[in-house]
Structures are given as structure tokens and as C-alpha cells.
Amino acid sequence: MFRLIFLFVILGAGLFVGTQFAGQQGYVLISIANKTIEMSVTTLVIFVIAILAALFGLEYLLKKALNASSRTWNWFGVRKLKRSRRYTNEGIIKLMEGDYKQAEKRVTRWSNHHDMPLLCYLVASEAADNQGKIEQRDHYLQLAADQPDSYLVVELTRARQHVRQKQFEKALVTLDELHREYPNNSMVLSLLKTTYVELKRWEALLSLLPRLLKEKCISEQQYEQLMIQAQCGALIDVAEKRGSEGLIEHWDHLPKKLKTHQTLTQCFAQQLIARQADNEAFTVIKETLKKHPGHTDLYELVAKLNLSDNHPAVTFLNDALKKDGQNAEAHSALAQLHMKEKNWPQAQQHLESALKIRSKVTDYALLADALGKQNMTLAANEVSRKALTLVSN
């Protein structure tokens, strides 16, 4: 627009000057080397205006040509981008369908033209990992790591792949570093939880549990289950490293609420029995059942005790049955103690009482043994068949 106005101004000025000096055109001489050019002033003005108009016209044509070329180039670029996105979307769907070979092929085909190649490389890495192509997987992860703002997602992908491949030590190295930088990331916390459980890092898991609950990575019920699992695992570790004395010391320092939990008490007693601290285990079982008679699973451990004198255990079980004659676990434990003493009729009586209350394969097997010891072969065979029926069901 400016150029058109400029041309009109020049033409107007020329017309004005031309009318003012009509009949007095003047004389212009241009000498270049051995050549001379002669013309009137009017001709020179017209010539200059013509040259300017030609230049402006040429500029206009060049711009049009360049714009057309740019639009053509952009059209090809947009077409490649759209195709790359389409292939990537198809690759993600193939990954979810489990067609990992096609997923890898699709997302890498036009990844160079994608506006987010990081996504392509991550999907390709997951596809390669599911095919067991470890070198290719790591290659894609490296390509992804070279992209901007990729650290967290790449390392999370790496850790998740290590966990999937059960390479928990490698996963832990990556996750420890991520946890330092992103302590509240729910994915990091969840992967750490899985890794700690698999590696039996119970103390680390106990430290992590409050954070898992706070970030809603686990429910209250899961928190309770993991707490007991970790505490039981810690008891086993202490028992292996420090023996029964260290185990008892560790138990004494636990919160009272934990020491009332049936599973944890059972785990503690089992570790005492495993380290020949049977008297201490009996004391723990007896005191716990007095306070919490509903913890009936502990009666099973009484039968496993290797006491120098079984009389206190027999008395304890008889007292329990006087309070609750329908205590099947106490009947079963007492029967097993009688079997140790080869008191087969008493053992038979208590096993039959236990089985009237509830069915249990191990008690049927014990009853068959007790009957066999009394030469009651037919009855023993019948009981064995019942046990086999329970097992098959």
C-alpha cells in the first residue's frame, strides 16, 4: 500500500512539474565511459518512474512466489506431523492390545516428524521390553532421555520395567534416586513399596508406610496388612541375626497395640520355637490367649512346642476346653499332645470332637493315624477317604 501511494505521489508531482514547465523540457546528458545518453528531463522522470514501478512489481512477484513455496513446505510438514501422530496413536493401541512388535514398528516409523518424539520412544521402549529386547529397550530409553524435560518419566519407565522383569536391585537404585528428588510422587512410592517387599527390606518399608498412606497410594486395610507383614519380616531378620535373646528384646520394644495382633504374635512365637526357645514361646502363647481368647490360631502352635514336660501345656488346653468346649483348635492341639505321649484313645476323642465342629484335612489325617495305631483299619481307611475328598474339593 505504501509503495502504491509513493508511486501516485511521484506521478502527481511529475504532472505538476510538467504543467509548470511545459515547453521547457530541459536537457539531460549522461556520460558513461565512451558512451553518452541524451534525453529531456521529462523523459528521465518517466524513465525513473517506470523503473520504480518495475522494481515494485518484481518485489511483489517474488513475495508471492516465496509465500507459495512456504505454504507448500508447511503443507508437507503438517502432512508428515499428522501421519506421525496417526502412527503413534495406532502404536499405543497395539501396545494395549499386546501386539508389541507392531507397536514398536508403528511408533518408530515417523518419530522424527512427531511434535513429541519423547512419547514415541517411551512407547517403543515399553514394546521392546515386553518382547524381551533389552538392548533395544535401553536404546529407546536413551533416545527418550535426550529429549527435554524427560528425566522423571524416563526414569519411572526404567524402574517400572526393572520391576516387571523382577530386577529389583536395579529398580531400587533408580527408585532411591527418584525418591530423593520426588518424595511425594505416588508412582515412585508405589514402585518402592513393591521393591521393598520383594527384596524383604522391611525396615525401609516400615519407614515408607506413613507416606504411602498420606499420599493415598494404599488404603487403611492395605496399610494394616503391610504393617504386619513388615513387622513379621523384621522379626525374622532379627531372629536370624541376633537369636532368641535379640528377638525377645526387639519384641519388648514394639508398641503394645502391635503385640496384641494375632498374626504378629504367631510369627514371634514361631521364631522362638525355631530357635529352641520353646518355653518362652509357650509363655507368650499362654499370656496372649488369656488376654485374647479369640486368637484361636495360636493353639496350633502349642502342639508344636518341644517342652521337656508337656503337662503344663495339657493343663492349659484342658482349662481352655472347660471354658469353651467348642474350641476346635484346642481339641486338635490337645489331641496332638496325646499322640506324642501315644495316648491314642484320648487323641482320637479330641480329634473327633474337633472334626464335629469343623472340617480340616490335617485333623482327618491325624485321626486316621490314631485309628491305625489302635488297629482300627476299616475306620482309618474311611477317615482317609474323607480327607482325600476334602483335598480334591
Q: pLDDT-based confidence at 190, cuts 50/70/90?
A: very high
pLDDT at 26: 61
For 67, phi then psi, to 5°, come to -65, -40
Of residues 40 and 328, which shows the higher confidence score?
Answer: 328
Of residues 277 and 83, which shows the higher confidence score?
Answer: 277
CA distance 205 to 237: 14
3-class SS of residue 239: helix
CA distance 250 to 330: 29
pLDDT at 81: 67
Residue 62's identity, in one-letter code, is L
Q: pLDDT-based confidence at 35, cuts 50/70/90?
A: confident
What is the share, in percent, of the chain residues with pLDDT greater than 70? 85
Handedness of CA 341, 345, 349, 351 (dihedral sign): positive
Domains located in the chain, CATH noted: 222-284 (no CATH), 309-393 (1.25.40.10)
pLDDT at 69: 54
Contacts of 339 (CB under 8 A, 6+ apart): 347, 366, 369, 370
Which candidate, 252, 246, 310, places its Cα nearest to that of 278?
310
Of residues 29 and 120, which shows the higher confidence score?
Answer: 120
Of residues 111 and 145, which shows the higher confidence score?
Answer: 145
Of residues 299 and 75, which shows the higher confidence score?
Answer: 299
Q: Using alpha carbons, list the distances in angstroms from residue 180 to 149, 177, 218, 235.
A: 18, 5, 20, 28
Among all chains, which residue has been given the C-alpha cell 499362654?
A: 286
CA distance 343 to 346: 6
Dihedral over alpha carbons 263, 265, 269, 272 (to 10 degrees): 110
pLDDT at 77: 44
CA distance 162 to 167: 5
**Burial bucket for residue 226 (CB in 10 Å: 0-12, 13-18, 19+):** buried
pLDDT at 203: 95
- Interval 211-248: pLDDT, tens: 999 999 999 999 999 999 999 999 999 999 999 999 99
- Interval 242-284: pLDDT, tens: 999 999 999 999 998 888 899 999 999 999 999 999 999 999 9
CA distance 224 to 97: 36
Task: With beta carbons less than 8 A apart as the criterion, state whether 111 and 121 touch.
Answer: yes
Of residues 111 and 298, which shows the higher confidence score?
Answer: 298
User: Span 76-80, mean pLDDT?
Assistant: 55
CA distance 229 to 142: 37
Task: With beta carbons less than 8 A apart as the criterion, state whether 124 and 140 touch.
Answer: yes
Residue 24 scores a pLDDT above 70: no
CA distance 26 to 41: 6
User: Span 102-121, mean pLDDT?
Assistant: 82
Q: pLDDT-based confidence at 75, cuts 50/70/90?
A: very low
Q: pLDDT-based confidence at 53, cuts 50/70/90?
A: confident
User: Span 67-85, mean pLDDT?
Assistant: 59
CA distance 89 to 77: 18
User: Span 321-341, mean pLDDT?
Assistant: 94
Cell numbers representing residue 383 in the block: 477317615
